[in-house]
Chain A
Amino acid sequence: MILGALELKNISKSFGNVEVLKDINLDVNEGEFIIFVGPSGCGKSTLLRIIAGLEDATGGEVIISGKNVSALPPSKRGIAMVFQTYALYPHLTVRGNMALGLKQAGTPKAEINQRVELACDLLSLDELIERRPAELSGGQRQRVAIGRAIVRKPELFLFDEPLSNLDAALRVNTRLEIARLHKQLGATMVYVTHDQVEAMTLADRIVVLNETRVEQIGSPMELYNNPANEFVAGFIGSPKMNFIDAERLGIRDAKTIGIRPEHIKADYEKGDWPGQIIHVEHLGSDTNLYVDTKVANPLSVRLFGNHDFKAGETIHMTPLADKTYYFDNDGERVVPADK
């Protein structure tokens, strides 16, 4: 039997009367890259902190490598955490930052040195090893924070929005670096972000959280192609999915129809929904149109490549029939009888 790397059983958490997490269940396999994603305030960071042991769950169990760690302090859980602000010890050098936890655990000096050097090698920090955090750039600090996690050889890596303090260019690089590390180390990683692009690009599986609950768990493509409900459908994908009142299309067995901007064809001559272009965004690779139509205003449309549409022009749009999604009154995905 393969032991799961992490198991959450009925985790719930409230601060006073405010419920933050309700009955969360999750199984993470060894070596998996799991991302918690959701809007701010959905409880994703709290969930990560509960796994780390920095926060106590109000109910439920945290099981890491088959061991119930709910009552253990963070340092005994076999986890390592990379914080949003990096949380490097300002008074210690890069080496000192990485070594502190091992020293505290009584690891022999030779082994500490060896592990620190290995981590520095892996993250190309060799030349910075005697510097203090204040002498490092944002990206370098981020790497030190990751290195501090690596030297502990944890069974579980926890990342709390690790890229949110980096500028856009660095963010892409660091994202690649984390993906590379995940492959190289084969470690289990749990990662929190509010950025769905980060989630889509890194995760093996994504856990979408919203208002205390798990909305859906699945691989990035499952979430994109088969969203379980209106929330997930709207959250994954950019520009956002169009939601159209089903009544306006004369559809009875659903409340709302969802169609992604990239699944709509635009044509000057013919199509299902005529409308007037309000605004055009030329992104080079894509062209985004915002169109005033009877069914929705604005209806967003994403066309690949360059197009010469101009604001004020009238065009006709046609949705791809097999790419429309149907949602009921509760926002749950439904498959209409005739499909």
Chain B
Amino acid sequence: MGMITTRKPPFKWHIVVFLAPAVLVYTAIMIFPMIDTMRLALFSSIDNHQVFVGLKNFKTLFGDPRWSEHFWNALGNNTWFFIIHMLVQNPVGIALAAILSVPTLRFAPAYRTIVIIPTILSFVIVGFSWKLILSPLWGIAPSMLDMIGLKSLFHPWLGKEQYALTTLALISVWQFIGIPMLLIYAALLTIPEEILEAAECDGLTGFSQFWKIKLPLILPSIGIISILTFVGNFNAFDLIFTAQGPVAGPNYSTDILGTFMYRTFFGYQLQLGDPNLGATIASTMFLIILIGVCIYLFTIQRRLRRYQF
């Protein structure tokens, strides 16, 4: 033995102490249930026993007409819900942010504050308020349309199959538009003033400056709000549930994956709840969200470089 003994450094318990509470709660309440839900999707309850059935639940969900019709309907509705958000929420949000970021604009802080107000209200408030406003019984919407001479355009939008889903999607857009607006607004503010001045010297002002300089530079933020919207939309439930109830009427025309899962899990009216099939829908939602996130991470985010200014 030499004179120099190499001593192992003492185990750093404090690292464990710092990490333990978060890791435990997170693992027990978030990660474990997620994995367990996917496990449950592979089981079925037969005579009150959980029996492993492989992918049979998924086959039922996608193929058995009793379920698949609802499933594909909910998936289609959910996709439309997402499309409306992408087509309305994000462009309008970007436009508002572009206007707000004009440095000479006065009252910008006040506008900024007000845009967020719908976002802080709960779905219950938003859902019921719009339901009342659009209700033909109360007549606020028809009388307001009447004021601008468009009364003939009024329909009981939430009550008609062909309008209800789009109307709800627009209500959701109304509620959440503040988020993309603020994110884009912040991204616009990070563009250095000198770059915009250089653009001005190059003759780019106003709209062409926005189109050719600002928009390319905020593309990464647009990518982020798109994926946030995607995850939020395929996980939505509350607004439809409050406005249209668990049956997502009229005639399931507003049913999305969240409400479908809720009904399947808990049952409604005469149908009994089926946790295994509920877990199957949840697993499908998980896969859809996962695919979306992966597409974002591995293709979109890679193409959109984040620029160092």
Q: Which residues of A pack against B, CB within 8 Å?
A: 52-54, 73-76, 79-81, 83-85, 87-91, 100-101, 104-105, 134, 148, 152
Contacts and interface: CB of A to CB of B under 8 A. Distances in A.
A275 B205 CA distance: 64
Nearest to B197: A54
B200 interface: yes
A8 B198 CA distance: 22
Interface stretch (B9-17, B114-122, B212-220): B212-220
A79 B197 CA distance: 13
A54 B197 CA distance: 7
B201 interface: yes
A104 B194 contact: no
B308 interface: yes
Given A76-B203, A90-B308, 6 more contacts: A89-B199, A100-B202, A104-B202, A104-B204, A134-B305, A152-B202
Contacts of B192: 85, 87
A54 B195 CA distance: 12
A90 B309 contact: yes
B213 A89 contact: yes
A73 B200 contact: yes
Nearest to A102: B202
A101 B307 contact: no
A43 B201 CA distance: 21
Contacts of B216: 91
B143 interface: no
A81 B203 contact: no
A174 to B, nearest CB: 18
Contact of A75 (B194, B195, B202): B202
B201 A75 contact: yes
A105 B203 contact: yes
Contact of A74 (B201, B208, B309): B201
Q: Shortest 3 CB-CB distances between A and B: which pairs?
A: A101-B202, A75-B203, A90-B307
Contact of B200 (A74, A85, A88, A90): A74
Interface in B265-281: none
B173 to A, nearest CB: 29
Contacts of A100: 199, 202, 204, 212
Contacts of A74: 197, 200-201, 203
Interface in B182-197: 192, 194-195, 197
Contacts of B212: 100
A52 B208 CA distance: 20
Contacts of A54: 197, 200-201
Contacts of B204: 75, 100-101, 104
A81 B308 contact: no
A101 B194 contact: no
